[in-house]
Each structure stands twice: as structure tokens, then as C-alpha cells.
Amino acid sequence: MSEPKPSAATKQVMVRCPSCSETVPYRIDNPYRPFCSKGCKAIDLGAWASEQFRVEVKPTTEDLLDNDGL
């Protein structure tokens, strides 16, 4: 006989921490998820605050008109 497959409830999802790349279980009881710790979450927030991370956005026609003073 084959062993029973683990159910979705018992299967643990592993993710890589975006800051330190450590592989950690993704659990709903981790208040810092997807980060592994409070420190890694703070490092990421600091990078966004210092504009090391940016989301590139193409200007819209409305933005271009605002900048030209029309």
C-alpha cells in the first residue's frame, strides 16, 4: 500500500525572505510574513523610504499637460 498524500492543511509552504533570502515557512501566525523577522521587514521598509526601490510609471497625457502649465 502507498502512503497517504499530505492534505493541504498539513503541507507547509516555504518562501524565500525578500530581504535576506532565507527560506522560511509561510505561516499565518507570522506577523512579518513574507519576511522572516521584524528586522528584515524594517530593512525592506527603509529601502522603500530611501527610494532604493521605485515603481516606474510612464507619465500620462494629463501629467504632461500639468507640467507644461497648460
Write out pLDDT tens, residues 10-42: 788 999 999 999 999 999 999 999 999 999 999
Q: Counting Cβ atoms within 10 Å, is residue 61 exposed (0-12), middle (13-18) or buried (19+)?
A: exposed
pLDDT greater than 50 at residue 70: no
Q: How much of the chain, in percent, has pLDDT values that exceed 90? A: 53
Which CATH architecture fits 14-68?
Answer: 2-Layer Sandwich (3.30)
pLDDT higher than threshold 60 for residue 4? no
Distance CA 6, CA 10 (A): 6
Longest Cα–Cα distance of the chain, Å, equals: 77
- Is the whole model's pTM more than 0.85, yes or no? no
* Higher per-residue pLDDT: 63 or 37: 37
Question: By the 8 A CB rule, do 12 and 25 touch?
Answer: yes
